[in-house]
Each structure stands twice: as structure tokens, then as C-alpha cells.
Structure 1
Amino acid sequence: MSIVVQKFGGTSVADAERISRAALRAVETKRAGHQVVMVVSARGKKTDELVSLASEITKKPRPREMDMLLSTGEQESCALMAMAVHELGEEAISLTGAQIGVKTDGSHTKARIISISTQRMKDALDAGQIVIAAGFQGVDENFDITTLGRGGSDTTAAALAAVLDAELCEIYTDVEGVFTTDPRVVADAAKVEQVSYDEMLELASLGAGVMHSRSIEFAKKYHVNLKVKPSYSNGPGTLIGPVPVAPAPMVTGVAFVRNEARVSLIDVPDQPGVMSEVFSRLSENKIPVDMVVQNVGVNGTADISFTVAEDDLEKALQVGDAATASLGGTVESLGNMSKVSVVGHGMQTHTGVAAQMFSILAEHDVNINMVTTSEIKISVLIDHDLCEKATRAIHSGFHLDRKETATPEIGVASPNIPRARTDRDATKLEEDIVSRLSGMEDTVVSDIYGDDSQARVTITQLPDTPGIAARIFAAVANGGILVDMIIQNAAQDGRAIISLTVPSDDVGQCIELLRTAAGDNPDVQFSFDQRIGKLSVVGIGLRSHTDVGARMFRTLADNSINVQMVNTSEIKVSVVVAAEEIDKALTALRGTFGVS
């Protein structure tokens, strides 16, 4: 008998009526022939109420006691949900995180799951009971209650689905599913019928508030099919799973993060060990970084920029000051910024996505401060006040408001679910790595690969004005050249530097196109490297585990390999090194991360 995990968020269990409605969904699923595990959050504003109550007692509550307090919200919901199921004539048992056996580390208020015992849940399911689990919580080795932090109930649900080998994990929420962008900003945003794990990871990290990154990481790591569904209707929702077989749209969605800040280390030495020094300090201070950019060094120095949440700016500046005190250079910062991104698997095979995005921004007088890319994402850093304007313009410019024909609803037991667990060839390597993890939320570095078939082209002394990037990349796209990495660091003295990588065979044509696009501006300069080495570390949880970049750059530094360029995304860290060092670098990195 298949197992279905159903998670209900705070708004879905806010009062007795909604609790009863959620209980009915679980009962109907059980009567349809499935074993059911429910995961519930605290009711409505209960967590906020408890936090406020604690603040009336003390301004600095101890994390252990906050976990003890906040965990009561989910326990209340569990008990009430069990009562509602009993009223509908079915058996149910409510269980806390400890009773389920959710073992975590000891990081109070932001614990990570180490393991989950399944025996008690399986015994209850086999006895015909609906298991109702308290989300958001577990216990450490001392049996102290811990909580999982933001998005904790989603994480619990995905983790339970993983250890129980569930057919499906349904996430019931107060929206219809995953949308092409935030409907509160773009009224005609369309619901997406299906989205891949990688697209959803990028969208989640970029501020799409439907689900938290950690739950998507669990789903991808353990091949769980997720479905985001509305709790207030029978809408089909959005399936999150493997990459669909059908051709992917060029752009799936537009996401944004409002409150970003940029930290730039200016004129640091262009030599091995610099990125290691910076990332090690960020990791030690547990500062999650978002966009990371290093452009090509000039005259023996380079500029490194990274973005952090505005709340982390002060700590990040302290890290920057310590790094430059050791290395040399100066620190600059800029607050009141936002990041806007387009995401989609289809851009891997389409030229001109960047050009189109930059053109749209130029038409609306939005200047670009930084650019990073991955195979399925292009992100720009812009002025905070232009965030919503840019999002609406990009959404309209890529015609994401056009409603597509809905796919047939995928039911709980439908054979149409592209069940990732059966795809043995594609997942064997990752599963082998997962089997060796000491904790369920450990980072999975599933692949490390190199590419020496590309060339690097750098344009310097570009006027830092809206439209310059659009003109450059439109020229490249019109020439039919597929661009891989795009890096634009923060402008200095009103001048921008843009680097891009293209196939080596196309570098001559690319430079001719760029010279034409630059016009007769005598200040603009071009440089290129006919052959570069691009290294990529690919995995799950790279952004939420700050030590991955530190380990990567430390390994390169220990082997005296200089990093020429850096580009990051939710699932990948890519660097450019000298082509002749790529084999040495690959061997070293694979040894560090245990990837064959």
C-alpha cells in the first residue's frame, strides 16, 4: 500500500473549521487506499504570539528555551487534528518530533536533521491509523527539543516522505501552486503545472515564498515527488519533480529578493588563496552569501563582490575588513539593492535569453549593478526601488502571462507521475553518495567536472548606463553564439567590466560582433583567452551550507591554482582557471569531496 505524506501549513489549520477540512482530506486519501502521514504546522499566528510573549519576559531569550516554547504550537495542532480525524470515524495518532524519532544536531532554532526512525510510524500505519506528525521539531542527542528554523514543517514533510519511501508528498498551502512570479506583484502571473527540482531550488532561493530551499533539497536528494496544492479547493496544484521529458519553456519564472546588500573587495591580489581566505571567513561566521562574482584580474589585482541579506551586511563588512587587512585592498558596500532573476531549463538551448532580459531592463531605464548566471538562471542586482517595476517588465517581456493549456491532473496514485526513484541510470551516483552521509541534511556534491572547450572574452571601460549590456548580448545572440558564463562586477568610477565565456571556435566572431556593438567608443577595450578551464562543483544544499565554497577554494589554493573568475547559483559553483591546470584541479577537488 502506497504512503502519501500531506503537510498543512499554519493558515490551513488556523481554526476548527480548517482543521476539520484538512482532516477530511486525509481521511478521503486513506479511504482511497493509501496510508497517510500528516505533518502540521502551528496554527495561524501562534508562533508569532509565542515569540511576542517571550519578548515580554526577556529581550534575550536563550535558544534552548525558545525551542521548548515554540515547539508547543505544532503539538497543539497535532492533538486537535487527531481529534478531528476521530470525529470522522478513522483512527489517528498524534506524535511529536521526539516520538517519531527525528534526531537533529544541537543547533537550537536552526537544527539540521541527522536521522529519522520509521518503525513507530510504520507500525501505526499498518494498524490502520493516520499518523499526525508535529512539523518543525526534533530532539538532539541529549533529548533536548530542537526546531528546524524557517520552513521547518516543509522540511519535516519532505524528510518523512524520503525515509518512508512515500509515493507523493503533498504540501497544502493558501495559494494555488507555484506561479511564474509573485501574484501580489504581477496580477496576471500564471500557475505553473510542473517544475523541476533545480528550477524550484533556484526559485525558492530567489524569494519564491511557496516553499523553502531545504525541503526542495530533501526532495531532490531522495527523489521525492512534491505537489504544492491549495488547501481551500480541489485545484491540481504544481508538481515538483525531475526534469520533464517534454521540451522545457525558455523561461519558467521570474523571482526576486528585495533586501540585498553588496560587499566588494577592491584591488585584492590576483593570486591563489584569495578566494579561499574570503570564503573561509564567511563560512566561519556562518554568513550565507548569494551572488558571488570575481571578474578577470587587471594589473595583478582583482575585484570580488558578493551579496548578502541586508540584515547580514554589518557582519559581512567585518569579514571584508578582516580579509583586506590580511590580503590588501579596500572594502566597499552598497545597501538598498534587490536581485531579479529569470529561471528555466529551456535557456540551456536558446541563444539570446540574456540579451532579451537586458533589453527589457534597458527599455525601462533599469541599470544593472551585477550579473551572475548558471545554465538555468540569469540574475541581476538592481536598485531596490526598481525591483517591482523590473519584475513586471521581465514577466511581460517573456510573455509569462500567457496561460498555457493545463496538463491533466496528476492524482495520488496516477501512473503519470514521473517517479524519479525508478530512473536508476540518472540517480545511481547520487544515491551512492547519499548512502554514505552521516546526516540526512549533509551536503551532496554529486558531480565535479571540467570544460576546456571554451574561451573567455572580457570588455573593460564600458559606460555604466542602462542598455549597454543589452546592446552587447544582443549582438552576440544575433550572431548565433551560445554564451555560457556571464559575469558583471560592480562598476568602478562609472565604468563596468563584463566577461563572458563562449565556445573557443566562436571567439573571433564574438569579438568582431562586440566591437561593432561597442561602436566608436575609444575607451572600450577587449581582451580574450582562447582556451580556459572551467570547473564546476554541482550538488544539493550548496547555498545553505556555507562551507562548500570554502572547501573548494581552499583546495585550489593548496594546489597553487589561481581562480580567474567565479560564478555561483543554488546548485553549482563554477570557476575559471588556466586551461593547463584543469586536470590537476579536477583531481584535487574530487579528492576533497569524495567524488569519483
Structure 2
Amino acid sequence: MSLIVQKFGGTSVATSEKIMGAARKAIRAQQQGHQVVMVVSAMGKQTDVLVDLARQITEQPPAREMDMLLSTGEQVSVALMAMAIHALGGQAVSLTGGQIGIKTDSSHTKARIQSISSERMRKHLDDGHIVIAAGFQGVDDDYNITTLGRGGSDTTAVALAAVLRADSCEIYTDVDGVFTTDPRIVPSARKMERVSHDEMLELASLGAGVMHSRSIEFGKKFDVPIHVRNSASFSDEPGSIIGNLPESSDRAVSGCALTKNEARISLTGVPDKPGTMHRIFSRLATVNIAVDMIVQNIGAAGVADIAFTVLETDLPAALKTVGEAARELGGEVSHDANLSKVSVVGLGMATQTGVADRMFRALADARVNIQAISTSQIKISALVERAQGMEALRAVHDEFELEKPPQSRASFGDGATKVERPSPVDVVSRLQRMEDLTIDDIRLDQTQGRITISQLPDSPGIAAEIFEAVAAESLLVDMIVQGAGRDGLANLSFTVPRDAVLQAVGVAMDAADRLGCGPVSSDATIAILSVFGVGIRTHVGVGARMFKALSEAGINVEMINTSEVRVNVVVAADKGEAGLKALRTAFADVMG
């Protein structure tokens, strides 16, 4: 018998009428021959009400007691949902996270799942019950109640689907599915029929609020197909399917997103030598601050400039931590809290040229100045002034005509309804410490070279002009890193295949002459070390572990860029093999 996990968010169970509607959906699915597990969030704004009550008592409530308090919201919902199903003639049993057997670590208010027992759920399902699970919560080894943090009910649902090897996981919410961007900002945004796990990971981390990134990490790691559907709809409209395939096989960009409240911290004049990055980012990992865009460009005269972004809410703690590192290393610290990040995402970027220049031209035509650039294999992000963020998002959405359905679709085959799942033995082994970091691969790329243009004017259109010239020569660009230099001037570096370096240098020198900047430097024999894994950004110690391993091997990091599933660092060509060995040793305990 097939098994479906259905998750209902707070807006989907905000009233007794909506609870009854959700109960009917579950009963209908059971009548169609499925075993059903429901995961339910707290009703409406109940969690906010509980948080406010705690703040009325004390401004700094103990984290353990906050978990005890907040977990009651879901317990109310599951009990009411069970009553609704019984009232409609069905059979149901409600279970808290602890009763199910969801074991977590002891990080109160932001716990990670370590294991889930399926025995009790299986028994109730086999007895004909609909199992109603409280989302967002679990227990640690000492049976303290823990909560999973933002998006915790999504995480619970996909994790249960993985453990139970469910045929699908349905996420019911107040929107119709996953859109090409936020329709509240861009009214022409289109609902996508499908989106890949990798694309959704990037979009979720960038602020696409329909799903939280941790739940997508589970979906990718355990091959769980996720259906995002509108709880108000009584039809079988599938909404959007998040799975192993993208919507289109030939479209370079599938979606775009805006992260509104970014803050940038810059360190200028730090030593350009092994160990510098480790001393900075190990401190940030210690205080559990997730770093987003990391921009380090090529150093000069023995010093380098490093910049990175954090959420604005993390800025005070990050500044304090970075200030301590700067006092040890030398250099100056500055920051800007009035920024947003606009990004385009798509699997097709890995093989298609011309995406960067189109994005940068769209921003230039909208008079949006780019303050920093970072790329991954399937994402390009640009840091802009917050006041221009929404206009930037609209500009890139229009440029890539995301409001239009793709002309061709990916070839789904049986993948439209099923994906190849891990064997039962493999699933059991992988479910031990479910949310622990897993590194899938570590690679060395010695096929690329680097070009750097220094002292670029800080004005709209600069990046567009450079990469339009690059695209005109049909050069395939991999990494792009632009960071703020000194005296208001920027440095921009990018990588191309080694056999195209001389051609790219010529293009860069012509552009530098037109723009009145430079000099242009290059290195045709760089080495790029890449660490691949699911949820690399949310595991805050990954960068620190990388930088420590390279530092101890005496290897200097020359450039960096990051994404949800990959961290790239550029090192000297003759250090590539040693760097690969150092990283494989450093991550040996978490290699998948």
C-alpha cells in the first residue's frame, strides 16, 4: 500500500473550519487506498502569541523553557485534527515528536534531527489509523523537548517521508505552488510545474518563503518528491513538484529571488597568507553565525581584502567576532547594513553561456549598481542597495522572461511519479544522525585559469559591459567574484578554461581601456578545490574546517565562492594535489 505524508501549515489550520477541511483531505487520501501521515503546525499565529507571552514575562527566556512553551502550539493542533477525523467517521491518533521517537541534539530552539523511529507509526498505520504528527519538535537524549527552528514543520514532514519511504510528501500551504519569484513583488511571476531539489535549495536559502531550506536538504539527501499544493483547493491540482528533475531541459534560468535584509562586513588589509581565512571563519562558526556570500579577490603587496554577508539580525554578533579577529590579524573592519541580494538560479547555467551578461545588463538598464558578485554552478548573486532590491528583482525576472512557460520540458519518463530510491539497508544507515553534515564529493579542477581586472569604477553597467564582451567571444565562465576594493574602486575576477585565458585577457584589456581601469592580471594555471554536500551553508563549520585544513597544509586561499551545495576555493596550481589530500582528510568522517 502506498504511503503519503501531508503537511498542513499554520494558515491551513488557523480555524476550526480549516481543520475540518484538512481532515477531509486526509480521509479522502486514505479512501483512495493510501496510508496517511499528517504533520500539523500550530494554528495561525499561535506561535507568535506564545512568543509574546514569554516576552511579557522576561526579555531573555531560557531556551529550554521556550521549547517547552512553543511545542504546545502543535500539540493543540494535532489533538484538534484527530478529533476532526473522528467526527468525520475516520480513525486517527495524534502523537507528539517525543511519542513518535524523533530524537534531536540538544540545541534548544534550533535543534537538528539525529534519528526517527518508525515502529510506532507503522503499527498505527497498519491498524488503519491516520497518524497525526506534531511538527517542529522532538526530544533530546535526556527527553527534554526541543524545537527545530524556522520551517521546522516542513523539516518534520520531509524527514518522516524519508524514514517511512513515503511515495510522496504533500506540503499544503496558502499558495498554489513554487513560483518563478515572489508574486507579491512581481505580479507576473509564474507557478512552476516542477523544480529540482538543487534549484529549490538555492531559492529557499535566498528567501523563497514557500519552503525552508532544511526540508529541501532532506528531500535531496533521501530522494523524497515534494508536492507543494494550496490547502484551499479541493481539486487534485498538483501544484509544484520538487524532485530530481527541473521543469525545462534547456532553460538556463528557472527562477530568481531577493534576500532583502543582507549586511556586508569587509576586512581590508589582512595578511594574504595561509591561516587568515581560518582565523576569521572559525570564530564565526563558534558563535553559530551562518555566512552567505564570501568574496575574496586576488591579494596584492602581501595583503588581501575579504568581504562576506550575513543576515542583518546577525550583524552585531558578527561584527564583535570579526573585530576580535581583526585585532589579531591587523586590517580594518567596515560594514554596510542597507543591502539586499538578487539572484538567478537554474540548472541550465552549468552548460549555457551568456547568463551573467544578460543579468548584469538588465540591472544596468534599471540603473541598479552592483556592489558585489558571487556565483556557483547554478546561481549568480549580486549585492545591491536595499532601496533598489525590488526593482532589481523585477528587472532580472523580465530579462529572462520567466513569466512565460518553457518551450520544452524535461524528459520525465517514470520520474514524473517515482524516483529511484535508496535500498532499505542504505536508508537505515543514512538515517543515523539524519541532519549531520554529509559531504558527497571533494574535487580538484586543474582545467581553468583566472583573469582579474582591478580598480573598476563603482557605477552601474561596468559588469554588464565586461561580460557582454566575454559572451561575444563565446567564452564559458565558471567563477565570478567581485568585491569592493579600496577608495571606492572594485576588483573583479573570473575563471575560464585554460586554453581560453589569452583570449579572455585580450577581452579584459580592451574593456579596461574603454572603462579607464586596470591593470589586468591573469594566471593560466590555477587549481580550484570544491567541496560538495547538502546544506553546506546551514552547517556553519564547513568553511572553517576547509580553511583550517588548507592552513595546516601551508596553502593560501586566493579566491572563494559559495552556494548551498558547493564551496569553491582557488589556490596556486602547484598546491592543488596537496589541497585535495588535506580536504579529503579533514572531511573523512562525514564523506557520504
- Which range, TM-score by smaller chain? over 0.9
Q: Would you say 1:273 and 2:271 are equivalent positions?
A: no
Letter in 2 for 1:198: D
Alignment of 1:483-502 (within 5 A): 483-502=477-496
3-state SS, counterpart of residue 346 of structure 1 = helix
Give the conservation status (yes or no) of the 8 Å contact 1:4–1:36: yes
SS at match of 1:420: coil
1:281-326 per-residue CA deviation (whole Å, 9 max, x = no partner) reads: 1101111111011101111111110001111111111122111111
Residues 394-425 of structure 1 show CA distances to partners (whole Å, capped at 9, x for unaligned) of 111111112458989x9xxx95535333489x
Q: Could you tell me which residue of structure 2 aligns to residue 420 of structure 1?
A: 419
Structure 2 residue aligned with 1:534 = 528
Do the aligned partners of residues 131 and 523 (structure 1) sit closer, same or farther apart at CA in structure 2, a change above 3 Å counting?
closer
Q: d(CA) in 2 for partners of 1:406 and 1:18?
A: 38
1:58 Cα deviation after fit? 2.0
Residue aligning to 1:293: 295
Residues 247 and 110 of structure 1, relative CA distance in 2, 3 Å threshold: same
AA matched with 2:584: R
Conserved in 2, the CA contact under 8 Å of 1:255 and 1:342?
yes
**What percentage of aligned pairs have identical amino acids?**
57
What secondary structure does 1:562 align onto?
coil
Maintained 8 Å contact 1:173/1:230: yes
Contact conserved, 1:193 with 1:407, CA < 8 A, in 2?
A: no
* 2:393 paired residue number: 391
- Write the mapping of 1:171-190 to structure 2, written as runs, cut at 5 A: 171-190=171-190
For residue 371 of structure 2, what is the aligned residue in structure 1? 369
Q: Which residue in 2 is equivalent to 1:50?
A: 50
CA pair 436-124 structure 1, distance change in 2 beyond 3 A: closer
Aligned length: 587
Given that 2:251 and 2:406 are in contact with CA atoms closer than 8 Å, whether structure 1 keeps it comes out as no
What is the correspondence of 1:431-442 to structure 2 with a 5 Å cutoff? 435=429, 438-442=432-436
**Structure 1 pair 520/169, CA: closer, same or farther in 2 (3 Å)?**
closer
User: Residues 468-479 of structure 1: matches in 2 within 5 Å?
Assistant: 468-479=462-473
Q: How far 1:278 moved relative to its partner?
A: 0.9
| Aligned-partner residue type, residue 545 of structure 1 | H
Task: Report SS of the residue matched to 1:186.
Answer: coil
Q: Distance in 2 between matches of 1:405 and 1:522?
A: 42
The 2-side partners of 1:306 and 1:113 are apart by: 29
Cα deviation code 1:27-67 (max 9, x no counterpart): 11111111000000000011111111222222221111111
Output the CA distance in 2 between the equivalents of 1:83 and 1:13. 13
C-alpha contact (below 8 Å) 1:86/1:92 kept by paired residues: yes
Aligned mates of 1:81, 1:434 — CA distance in 2: 30
Partner of 1:449: 443
Q: CA deviation at 1:490?
A: 1.6
Can you give the 5+ residue segments of structure 1 that lack an aligned partner in the other structure?
none
Go from structure 1 to structure 2 and tell me whether the alpha carbon gap of 1:432 and 1:266 turns closer, same or farther (over 3 Å shift): farther
Structure 1 residues 479 and 421, CA gap change in structure 2 (3 angstroms): same
Q: Secondary structure at the match of 1:566?
A: strand
Instruction: State the distance in 1 between where 2:154 and 2:196 align.
Output: 17
- Equivalent position amino acid for 2:361 in 1: S
User: 1:520: Cα distance to partner?
Assistant: 4.3
C-alpha offsets along residues 435-465 of structure 1, whole Å, 9 cap, x if unaligned? 3675110011101001001000000011111
Q: Which residue of 2 aligns with 1:135?
A: 135
What is residue 229 of structure 1 aligned with on the other side? 229
Paired residue for 2:195?
A: 195
Matches within 5 A, 1:487-526: 487-521=481-515, 523-526=517-520
Q: Contact 1:158–1:169 at 8 Å: present in 2 too? A: yes
- 1:227-286 deviation digits (Å, cap 9, x = unpaired): 111101133211111134961421111101111110011011110011111110110111
**Mapped partners of 1:392, 1:228: distance in 2:** 24
Deviation at 1:559, TM superposition (A): 0.5
Work out whether residues 256 and 339 of structure 1, in 8 Å CA contact, stay in contact via their aligned partners in 2: yes
Q: Secondary structure at the match of 1:289?
A: coil
1:30 correspondence with 2:24: no
Q: Residue 489 of structure 1: SS of its match in structure 2?
A: strand
Query: Secondary structure of 2:484's match?
Result: coil
Matched, 1:345 2:347: yes
Letter of the structure 1 residue corresponding to residue 254 of structure 2? T
Q: What's 1:550 paired with?
A: 544
Structure 2 CA distance for partners of 1:224 and 1:248, relative to 1, 3 Å: farther
Structure 2 CA distance for aligned equivalents of residues 248 and 57 of structure 1: 56
TM-score if structure 1 supplies the norm length? 0.95
1:304 counterpart = 2:298: no
Contact 2:139/2:146 (<8 A) preserved: yes
Counterpart of 1:335 in structure 2: which amino acid?
A
Distance 1:285 1:182 in 2: 32
**For structure 1, which segment, 183-192 or 522-531, has the greater mean C-alpha deviation from structure 2 after superposition?**
522-531
Q: Distance in 2 between matches of 1:369 and 1:187?
A: 27
Name the SS for the 1:303 alignment partner: strand
Q: What is the alpha-carbon distance in structure 2 between the residues aligned to residue 420 and residue 245 of structure 1?
A: 15
Considering only aligned residues, what root-mean-square deviation do their CA atoms show, in Å?
Answer: 2.0
Sort the Cα spacing of 1:60 and 1:246 in 2 relative to 1 into closer, same or farther, 3 A: closer
| 1:567-582 paired onto structure 2 within 5 Å | 567-582=561-576
Report the 3-state secondary structure (helix = DSSP H, G, I; strand = E; otherwise coil) of the residue aligned with 1:267: strand
Q: Distance in 1 between matches of 2:46 and 2:157?
A: 20
Q: Counterpart of 1:334?
A: 336
Looking at structure 2, the residues matched to 73 and 588 of structure 1 have their Cα atoms a distance apart, in angstroms, of: 47
Q: Distance in 2 between matches of 1:128 and 1:341?
A: 46
Native 8 Å contact 2:177 2:239 kept in 1: yes
1:168 matched to which residue of 2?
168
Any idea what SS the aligned residue of 2:420 has?
A: helix
1:551-582 deviation digits (Å, cap 9, x = unpaired): 11100001001111011111111000111111
Letter in 2 for 1:366: V
In structure 2, C-alpha distance between the alignment counterparts of 1:226 and 1:266, rounded to whole Å: 44
What's the counterpart of residue 461 of structure 1?
Answer: 455
Query: Which runs of 5 or more structure 2 residues have no equivalent in the other structure?
Result: none
User: By how many angstroms is 1:130 displaced?
Assistant: 0.4
Contact 2:106 2:146 in 1 (8 A): yes
Distance 1:168 1:318 in 2: 45
> 1:382 — aligned with what?
384
* The 10-residue stretch of structure 1 (307-316 or 513-522) with the greater mean CA deviation from structure 2: 513-522
Structure 2-normalised TM-score? 0.96
1:521–1:371 Cα change, 3 Å: closer
Bigger Cα displacement from structure 2, 198-207 vs 50-59:
50-59
Residue identity in the other structure for 1:183: P
Contact 2:194 2:240 in 1 (8 A): yes
1:188 maps to a residue whose letter is: S
